[in-house]
Structure 1
Amino acid sequence: MTVSDASTFPRHQSLPSREHYPLVIIGSGAGGVSAARSYLDAAGPGPVLMVTEDIDPPYERPPLSKEVLSGEKEPTGDPVNGEGLPDGVELLLASSISAVDIEKQTVAAKSWSVEFDRLIVATGARSKSLHAAQEGAEIHLLRSLDDARTLVASARTAYTALVIGSGFIGCEAAASLAQRGLNVALVTPENGPQEQRLGAAASSRIKDWLEAVGVEVRTGRSVKSVAAPRVVQLDDGTSLNPDLILAAVGVTPGGTLLDNSPAEVRGGRIMTGQHLKAHATVWVAGDSALAQHGVAGRPIMVEHWGDALAMGEIAGHNAAVEQNAQKSWDSIPGFWSIIGDHTLKYSAWGDGFSTAEFRERPDGFVVWYGDERGELVGVLTYNSDDDYERGQHLLEQRAPLSHALK
């Protein structure tokens, strides 16, 4: 089969149709889909093989903790950016990669092996399991569309719910379950929701929003154990027995696929330069990357849908073109989070801050974040789009925090 008739490939397969591919993409999330589109748009030779452990064709993940969980949308999965995969992409669902040899340029699963000219790793991250859970405990995670289907099915018959963790997914999910009509409690070891990431003032506002939709927020509390089926013991001696438990306690990046390879892997993330290249024939995008940023001037990691889309676009383009036409990763990282009826917009380098300056705005607020050198390293806004756009511009300039406070 030649490249010219690649559009006739079946979309969802159980085995590869050939032994060699110009491009193999591991992962079907935002990074992988964006990479496939960009690669083919840049006239990269096909066909492209996309391999994923997911059981569903590529879908938008952000609605899962919001509209899907609140009941506004059914858990059917919207295509990424409203579009299916382009012609020329073979998709292998429910396929777990067992080995990658980037020197021999091979990728293998249990029942097949293929050769590649180029490889893009966009494996994303996995939800962390709750270490305190005992055998048989019924605990939901929320990372995939299948997770969402199972969680929604449980929510339809539940009266009470416990969300463990106060990151963005935990806060979004707690608000969504409350909007669905459940009595929801959120437990976090932090002094306030997302206080470590966003600071005390923003955390206080988020707590108010959660409580306004009926979420009981229990701060400074850890889960000691969860016994079957759903008996939860907190470190203050409290015992809870909710109908539904959702653990949102962070993620584990998927870059370990290249452990013991010539590529450098740190903490499950694959090191790349600003062109997102990790090896002579390997590029990386999304959560599995620890990539040099063209503006920040240092390796940074991101765990956001929009950033994975942007990185995938660059990785796919660069895999298709010559060295003199390479693109650099230099867009400012960030994302939006919807907690109940409140939309937060956040842009930051993501490696911490030492100063958080909170400013009220009419019907909203802005928080400016600075590091120990006095440089602006992030901005968080609610109902203040002018500040958000200004903050991104100042981040691009590596401006001092003092410039943001003028």
Structure 2
Amino acid sequence: MTRAGKWYSGVVAAPGFIAIGSGPAGLSAAETFRDKHPHIPVRILSTDPALPYAKPPLSKEYLCGGHPNLDLHSAGWFARNRVDLVRGITVEHIDTANQHVVTAGGQIYPYWHLVIASGSVPVRLTIPGAETALSLRSFADAVALKMAVRYADSAVVIGGGLIGCEAAACLADRGIATTMVAAEAVPLQRRFGIEAGDRVAKILSDNGVRFHGNSAVTAIEDTRVLLDDGSAVDGDLVVAATGVRPDIRLAEGLNTRDGRIVVDEHMHTSVRNVYAAGDVALAVNVTAGRPVPAEHWRDAAHQGRVAGLTAAGYPAVWDIVPGFSCTIGDSVLKYRGWGAHYEHSRLVEHRNGFTVWYEAGGEIVGALTFNADEDYQRAERLLRSHAPLAS
């Protein structure tokens, strides 16, 4: 069999359920389908050579020097549950007409139901010396970074997002002189606004991280990071925390929007028997009443479960209110809401923390809290009821 002049070696497995990706969405989908159909072949195809693992601890406990159990399941679990985990394999093409996927090695895996859960890929730096910067997206990245920490006296974290804040605090906690460089005036500004960013900058400072805002990195030279104002920051270790983008290279023939695969509340794509979940999906959340991007672990796992149930023939919809936490040293920020878009924000100071309420169209669309768990719980009620914040 050929496609575009390339020889494919042939079918290597019986048809059944396939999840592309071993992250929370793909694993949850496969687990759920297997639970409902004990005898239909279930397969996970993953580019990652490691057993499925939890990613949130990589920039928290793991990098900070702890030894959390990252594995989501042992190899024995996959064997006992007859879930075929194929690691270190890249899917090159999905043939939706004939219902099979083709790998870079030419193997063909036929499917009855397919879940695309390929996650995200890092946004790469495009500056001289970028190849010397380390990233923090996979377990292999975390291992390399953790080893590099042993030999570093100073570090520069490029990017002021969630992962960058967590990683910077961990590096500083391990005795490394750490500077965070970002294009925004304050950390997390694009996502949460200037007032929240000011408070996060203070939290970073309290954890020993120097923040250098309104700066673009122009090059990395040896142990220096050069900035667009002509200055430089010393760093034996450079970490690129420059964000990610959904990996939708397999979305050919599927409806996409805003860089994601369009799915309904059941995780159906525009093609029969093909579903998408996690970072790659733009799914309808029935509680929000509109499409909402899933950007975090908990949401991806729930979408995967919905996809697995739907593929198995059971009723399921995505209806939870998305949320996540960010740990900077000993400080934990919690967010609950529908994503980045908002029209107005309102910061409320508390004795030992704060809440930022985000509004659009006359209703609450999100809340960021620090030491304000009552507001965090209240936010879910307001989000579910589409209510405004009372004065």
TM > 0.5 fold call: yes
Aligned to 1:330: 319
1:105 aligns with 2:99: yes
1:188 aligns with 2:182: yes
Aligned to 1:301: 293
Deviation string 1:154-186 (CA, Å, 9 cap, x unpaired) is 011111100000110000000011111111000
Residue from 158, 179, 201 that aligns with 1:207: 201
Shift of 1:361: 2.1
Aligned to 2:281: 289
1:382 aligns with 2:370: yes
Shift of 1:295: 1.8
Shift of 1:120: 0.5
Aligned to 2:342: 353
For residues 5-404 of structure 1, the aligned pairs below 5 Å read: 18-43=12-37, 45-73=39-67, 77-79=70-72, 84-85=77-78, 87-109=81-103, 110-134=105-129, 137-227=131-221, 229-259=222-252, 261=253, 263-278=254-269, 279-321=271-313, 325-371=314-360, 373-400=361-388, 402-403=389-390
SS at match of 1:202: helix
Q: Answer yes or no: is the 8 Å Cα contact 1:45–1:320 preserved in 2.
A: no
Q: Answer yes or no: is the 8 Å Cα contact 1:344–1:382 preserved in 2.
A: yes
Shift of 1:198: 1.1
Q: Answer yes or no: is the 8 Å Cα contact 2:192–2:340 preserved in 1.
A: no
Which structure 1 residue ranges, 4+ long, deviate > 6 Å from structure 2? none
Q: Answer yes or no: is the 8 Å Cα contact 1:256–1:269 preserved in 2.
A: no
Shift of 1:226: 2.1
Determine the C-alpha separation between the residues in 2 that align with 1:203 and 1:222.
18
Deviation string 1:160-218 (CA, Å, 9 cap, x unpaired) is 10000011000000001111111100001111000121122211111111111111100
SS at match of 1:359: strand
Shift of 1:59: 0.4
- Report how many residues are paired: 380
Aligned to 1:10: none
Q: State, as a whole percentage, how many aligned pairs show the same letter.
A: 37
Q: 1:396 and 1:84, CA in 2 relative to 1: closer, same or farther beyond 3 A?
A: farther
Shift of 1:18: 4.3
Aligned to 1:4: none
State the AA in 2 paired with 1:299: P
Determine the C-alpha separation between the residues in 2 that align with 1:393 and 1:84.
38
Q: Answer yes or no: is the 8 Å Cα contact 2:18–2:30 preserved in 1.
A: no
Q: Answer yes or no: is the 8 Å Cα contact 1:21–1:49 preserved in 2.
A: no
TM-score norm. by structure 2 comes to 0.92
Deviation string 1:37-71 (CA, Å, 9 cap, x unpaired) is 11122236522110011010100100100111111
Determine the C-alpha separation between the residues in 1 that align with 2:166 and 2:113.
38
Q: 1:80 and 1:293, CA in 2 relative to 1: closer, same or farther beyond 3 A?
A: farther
Q: Tell me whether 117-126 or 359-368 shows the greater mean CA deviation.
A: 359-368
Determine the C-alpha separation between the residues in 1 that align with 2:202 and 2:323.
23
SS at match of 2:249: helix
Structure 2: runs of 5 or more not aligned:
1-8
Q: Answer yes or no: is the 8 Å Cα contact 2:34–2:83 preserved in 1.
A: no
Aligned to 1:8: none
Q: Answer yes or no: is the 8 Å Cα contact 1:286–1:311 preserved in 2.
A: yes
Q: 1:349 and 1:16, CA in 2 relative to 1: closer, same or farther beyond 3 A?
A: farther
Q: CA RMSD in A?
A: 2.1
Q: Answer yes or no: is the 8 Å Cα contact 1:97–1:108 preserved in 2.
A: yes
Deviation string 1:256-288 (CA, Å, 9 cap, x unpaired) is 2112x1x11234311001111002101111001
State the AA in 1 paired with 2:125: L
Q: Answer yes or no: is the 8 Å Cα contact 2:156–2:180 preserved in 1.
A: yes
Aligned to 1:5: none
Q: 1:133 and 1:316, CA in 2 relative to 1: closer, same or farther beyond 3 A?
A: farther
Q: Answer yes or no: is the 8 Å Cα contact 2:51–2:71 preserved in 1.
A: no
Q: 1:84 and 1:249, CA in 2 relative to 1: closer, same or farther beyond 3 A?
A: farther
SS at match of 2:327: strand
State the AA in 2 paired with 1:319: A
Q: Tell me whether 383-392 or 140-149 shows the greater mean CA deviation.
A: 383-392
Deviation string 1:132-167 (CA, Å, 9 cap, x unpaired) is 2447x4110111000000011101111110000011
Aligned to 2:3: none
Q: 1:133 and 1:333, CA in 2 relative to 1: closer, same or farther beyond 3 A?
A: farther
State the AA in 1 paired with 2:27: V
Q: Answer yes or no: is the 8 Å Cα contact 2:11–2:109 preserved in 1.
A: no
Q: Answer yes or no: is the 8 Å Cα contact 2:11–2:108 preserved in 1.
A: no
Determine the C-alpha separation between the residues in 2 that align with 1:17 and 1:389.
51
